Structures are given as structure tokens and as C-alpha cells.
Amino acid sequence: MRRLLHVVFALAIASMTIPTSGCSTFLDFDHFAGASDAGARDAPSSDTSSDAPPSDTGRDAPASDTGVDAPTFRTLTVTTMGGGTVTSSPTGIACGTTCMADFLDGTPVMLTAMPDATSELVSWGGACTGSAATCTVTLGAATSVQAHFAPRGSVRWVHQITFSGADGFEPEVVVAPDGNPIVGTVVDDGDGSDLFVAKLDRATGDVMWMQHLDTPTGENLGGIALDDAGNVYATVTIQGFGTTYVVAGTTFTGDLYGNIATYRLNGMTGAIEWGVQWGGGGQDRPQAIAVAGDNLWVAGGTSSSPASFGSGFTFSAAVDDGFVVRASTQTGGVNRVQHFSGGGTVVNGIAANSTHAVVVGSVFNAVTVDACSMHPSGSGYDTFIASFATSDLSCAWSRVAGDSVSSNSNGINAVAPMPDGGWVATGYFSGGILFATSGSSLASHGMSDAFAVRYGPNGEHVWSFRYGGTGSDSGNAVTTLSTGETFLAGSFNSPSILFGTFTLNGPSQVFVTRMTAGATPTHDWAVALGGDGPDRPEGIAVDAAGNPYVSAYFNGMTTVGGTALTGADYDTWVAALVR
């Protein structure tokens, strides 16, 4: 009989949860960092004061069993910050309304964070860590957990890169396989501009490693890219007539107008593993870099005659010809080059997947590259996009867009691959522009407007959007998720600018917006960053969870997500946003 009572009693208490009313809301994570056994609660002891009823057999009933341990309960307290709630399994926590509950000692409790329609979970705190939607804690003491929610697009942290001189022109950002952002820029410590690359902690923005390549030449950043192992590739223009330096066993020589230097950095330490130099006696400038598999792609402009890109790859360029180079990620050795002949070509961006690379920019003259011919519609600059096969760098297709007004200027600044094999690009235009083969043109509302356009794998138009007001506005950077969502960053000098249902107020601001996947996307959110002075974004990247990182430069003073920044001259900032 005693053993049966023990079993019944154990079953009765095994699932006991005692909710306690009240919902804590605090902003200090550290306030809840500790936990103690002070929250243990003993269940009330059984009442032995009353007489037991007589036994049917005439024997006295046994005395109450003092060998049964009283169950111990532990208090779990949940604190929410921002727009969201947390529930528990077993039930007991529904915070929102019930943020404290008692659970049997040793119980594993799974907490689920549920953001509201305009927010995301940024991080857990206390006994939970990370930013996954669920967290399980096993209660052996009184335990506190925090869930930090924040509006989509809001700033989690901002990191400033500042030296004594003018720093940060055209900074770019990528995300390593471990989820941490890497920023590339140039800095001036008083003896000219130098390449600067730093890996930042994704949670705090703190520097994990940095590479400051202090050389006697002056550098301008062309771009940075990553391979699948997390190694970093950076390409720069080096200037300094007759000036030489040695990096990773290679001697580099600057000239008056600029040559091209490309480096590979170890993704774990930032150490430079190899470097190569290309160019000639004219002006040579890399403008973009990409990696796909074992192929390294660099695109830019040259006015050298001859322009040399390694053994066997030399051509004569006119003023402002374009080029695209395919090289080995292991050595930097060039194995194929294409030349945009005809002059008047401005190359701004490149992106690659396993089968193709696309180059984007502006054309002023009629330009020929392999089997593709690009003819502007008037006497101004028009946008262009050209696709090249990875196998032999043959031109698969090209598209030009603009209008016939000579004073109008149009260009694509950046491009990114889509999961279906297509591409999405962003840039600026004046007057009207038609990306499709038929239909209505986009019409700018001011000096220039920003745009986003998506092309299919064979160059077919999928969709295009215009963004702008009465001022000068431009799309500068774009990236995508493997699920097809698109992130855009740009600058706007208009008093206001519209992204779907979201209105941003300027001027001299950075815009960032996220678009849904599909053939008819909508805008999930849009935010404005920056202060009274001009802020110009040059890079955007996302981690696997969809959290974006934006890199920009500014002059003087600015404010990013409530953080005031002051620069010695031009400086770089990198901001982590909520997805």
C-alpha cells in the first residue's frame, strides 16, 4: 500500500508548474546574469495532526511516511525587451502576461521567442545565449532569462574606423562563413592611404583581427571578396611613381597613374598569403572583385597600351577601356582576360556564380566585348550589364538601358547573384529608363533616382523599381539571400524617399531596404541611417540568418542608430542591422 501511494504521489507532482503573476521588463541584461538556490520552494508537508480512519481489518493505520522527500521547485523568470513575447513548454511562462513560474527541480524548459509583426529576436540573455528562436534551460536553481527584440532594420551596433587623415573611401563589407563581418577600406595614418582589412565580431563589432598594409605607395580600394573557406581577396590601385615594396615575396611597383595589386589574406589571421600586380604605363584601376569556387574575378578600367595581366594576356587599350580577369584563387595566376574595347566604359561591379560572371557599369561609346556589342541610346552614359561564361569567358549576353537625352547620366553600381541563376542590380538614372524590351519606362522625379532591376539567367527582365524624390538619389550596393530576398543600400539627398509603404526622410542619408523573394516582390522594411552631413554606403552583406551589415563613409559628424560619430576627416563606419 505504501509503495502504491508513493507512485501515485510521484505521478501527481511530476508535471506540476506553478505560475506566478507579474511580468518583469528591464533593460539591463547584467541585472539578471546570476541565479541562486534562493528560488527553491518546498511543497507543504502533509498534515499528520488528524487521526487516520480505522482499518477494516481492525489494525491501526500506519503512521504517515516521513521517508518521502518533499518536492523542490525552481523559479524561472523571463524578461522581454522590445516587441515580442516568450512562451514555455511545459506551460507556465507566457510573457507578455505571465513572466515568472515555478517548475519542478531538474525540469528542462523550452522557451520560444515570438517577435511581433515589425520586430525580430536579436539575442537571448541570462541562462540563454544566441539568437535562435528557441532555448532550453534545465532548472537546478532560480533562473533568469532575457529576450531582446528590436524593430527590423534597427542598428544593433556600429563600428568606426578612423585614422588621422582621410579614411574610408568606398568601404566594402562581406560576411565570413562563421557569420562574422569583414570590412575592407583605405586609411591614412599621415603618410598616404593604405589598405585596411578587419574582421569584426558579429555580436559586438569588436575587432577580431586586422591587416593594415602600410606601404610607400597610395592605395584606393577596388573591392573585397571571400571564398568558401573564408579567405579574403582584396584588390587596390597603387600609385607612386617608381616606388617599390615587397609583400608575401612579391615586389610591387607603383606608377604615376596607378597599377593594380590583388592580395589574398588568410581568413583566420588576416596574414597576406600572396599578391600579384597587373597593368601598364597608363591608368589602371580595379573596381570590383568576386569569387566563385576556385575562380577569382577582377573587373575594372585601363588606359594602358599595352596593359599586361600576366604571361600571355596583353592588349592595347584606348582611354577608359574595361576589362574582366579570371584568375586562380590559389595563386592569383591569370588564366583568361576579356577586353571592353571602344573607350568610354566605366566598370563598377562584378558578381559570379558557378557558371557565369556578370559585369556592370556605364557606357558612353559603342563598346564591343567578344561577341557582345553595347550601344548607348544617346550621347550620354547608359547602364550596361554583360554576362560571361565561366568556362571560356565568352560573352553570353549584354543589355544596355538609358534614354536619348544627351545630358542624362545612367549607371549600374553593383550586382548580386539570385538563386535561380539570374541577377539583381542597383544604380542611378536621370530622365527615363526602360529595362524591359517593351512597356513603360521608369521616370525620375528629380536630378537622379535610384533603381533596382532583376534579370533572369538569360538576361530577360523580371522586375524593376524606382526610388527617389526631388534631389539626387542612388543605389550603391546590393546583396541577396539563398532564398531570394534582396537587400539594397544607397544614398538619398531628397527630402523624402518612398520604398513601398515606407517613407524615409532626408536629406544626406543612407537608405537600406529589404525586399521579398519572387517575381513581384514587396518591401519588408526600409530605414534611414546617418546624420546632417553626407553619408555614402558602398557595401552591404548578409549572414545566413539574414542579418545585414552596411559599410559607409562620412565626413565630419554623423549619427548611426543613435550613436554619434565624429571623424578626423573622412572615416568609415560599419553597422549591424536587425534582419
Q: Is the N-terminal amide bond of 171 cis, ω within 30° of 0?
A: no
| H/E segment holding residue 114 | strand 108-115
Q: Is residue 416 part of a domain?
A: yes
- Asked which of 75-84, 161-170, 223-232, 254-263 is least confident by mean pLDDT, the reply is 161-170
Given pLDDT bands bounded at 50, 70 and 90, which one contains residue 407?
low
Name the residue among 564, 505, 563, 570 with its Cα closest to residue 534. Answer: 570
Q: Would you state the pLDDT for residue 569?
A: 86
Residue 471 lies in a domain: yes
For the cut 60, the answer to whether the pLDDT of residue 4 exceeds it is no
Closest C-alpha to 171, from 162, 180, 183, 179 = 183
Asked if residue 181 is part of any domain, the answer here is no
Closest by CA to 487, choosing from 431, 430, 546, is 546
Model pLDDT, residue 10: 35
Q: Is residue 98 part of a domain?
A: yes
Q: Is residue 239 part of a domain?
A: no
Q: Is the pLDDT of residue 305 over 50?
A: yes
* Interval 378-393 mean pLDDT: 93
Burial call 513-534: b when 16+ CB within 10 Å, e when fewer: bbbeeeeebebbbbbbbbbeeb
Instruction: Report pLDDT for 266.
Output: 98
The last residue of one of the domains, among 151, 180, 196, is 151
CA distance 18 to 38: 16
> What is the pLDDT confidence band of residue 14, given thresholds at 50, 70 and 90?
very low
Its sign, for the CA torsion 454, 460, 465, 471, is positive
**Average of per-residue pLDDT across 308-332:** 95
Classified as helix, coil or strand, 467 is strand
d(CA 7, CA 47): 19
Mean pLDDT of 112-116: 97
Does residue 16 surpass a pLDDT of 60? Answer: no
**CB 227, CB 233: distance < 8 Å:** yes
- Confidence class of residue 167 from pLDDT cuts 50, 70 and 90? confident
Query: How far is the C-alpha of 517 from the C-alpha of 260, rounded, in Å?
Result: 37
Whole-angstrom distance, CA of residue 526 vs CA of residue 500: 9
* pLDDT higher than 60, residue 462: yes
The predicted structure's pLDDT at residue 100: 96
CA distance 469 to 462: 24
Considering the chain, what is the average pLDDT of its residues?
A: 88
Q: For residue 89, give the CATH number of its domain.
A: 2.60.40
pLDDT attached to residue 49: 39
Each residue's pLDDT tens digit, 474-499: 999 999 999 999 999 999 999 999 99
Residue 426, pLDDT above cutoff 70: yes
Decide: 548 and 513 in contact? Cβ < 8 Å.
Answer: no
Higher pLDDT, 69 or 46: 69
Split at pLDDT 50, 70, 90, the class of 67 is low
Q: Is the pLDDT of residue 43 over 60?
A: no
DSSP notation for 494-563: SSEEEETTEEEE-SSEEEEEEE-SSSS--EEEEEEE--SS-EEEEEEEE-TT--EEEEEEEEEEEEETTE
Model pLDDT, residue 62: 45
Instruction: Rank 20-24, 72-76, 186-190 by mean pLDDT and report only the highest.
Output: 72-76
If one counts every other C-beta atom within 10 angstroms of the C-beta of residue 262, the result is: 23
d(CA 385, CA 459): 9
Which pLDDT band, with edges at 50, 70 and 90, does 406 fall under?
low
CA diameter of the chain:
118
Lowest mean pLDDT among 1-10, 106-115, 514-523: 1-10
Tell me which of 257 and 112 has the higher pLDDT. 112
Residue with cell 582584396: 234
The span from the CA of 517 to the CA of 499, in Å, is: 15
When pLDDT is cut at 50, 70 and 90, the band that residue 97 belongs to is confident
Domain boundary among 107, 131, 151: 151
As a whole-number percent, the residues of the chain with pLDDT over 70 amount to 88
Domain-embedded: residue 237: no
pLDDT at position 61 over 70: no
562 Cα distance to chain centroid: 20
Q: Give the sign of the dihedral formed by CA 358, CA 359, CA 363, CA 365.
A: negative
Specify if 399 maps to a domain.
yes
In a domain, 203, yes or no: no
| Beta-bridge mates of residue 360 | 349, 385
CB 531 within 8 A of CB 573: no
> Does the pLDDT value for residue 185 go beyond 50?
yes
DSSP, collapsed to helix, strand or coil, labels residue 209 as: strand
Contact of 158 with 124, CB cutoff 8 Å: no
Lowest mean pLDDT among 97-101, 233-237, 529-533: 529-533
Q: 313, 298, 206, 230: which is closest to 261 by C-alpha?
A: 298
Question: Measuring CA to CA, how many Å separate 221 from each of 19, 224, 292, 331?
Answer: 59, 8, 20, 20
Q: Among 131, 151, 171, where does a domain finish?
A: 151
| Domain count across the chain | 2
Beta bridge partners of 148: 81, 123
Mean pLDDT, range 228-241, rounded to an integer: 95
Host domain of residue 520: 344-542
Q: What is the pLDDT of residue 70?
A: 86
96 preceded by a cis bond (ω within 30 of 0): yes
Q: Report the pLDDT averaged over residues 131-144.
A: 96
Confidence of residue 396 (pLDDT cuts 50, 70, 90): very high
Q: What are phi and psi of 510, to 5 degrees?
A: -95, 135
Residue for grid cell 510573457: 95
C-alpha cell of 354?
558557378
Asked if pLDDT for residue 39 goes beyond 60, the answer is: no
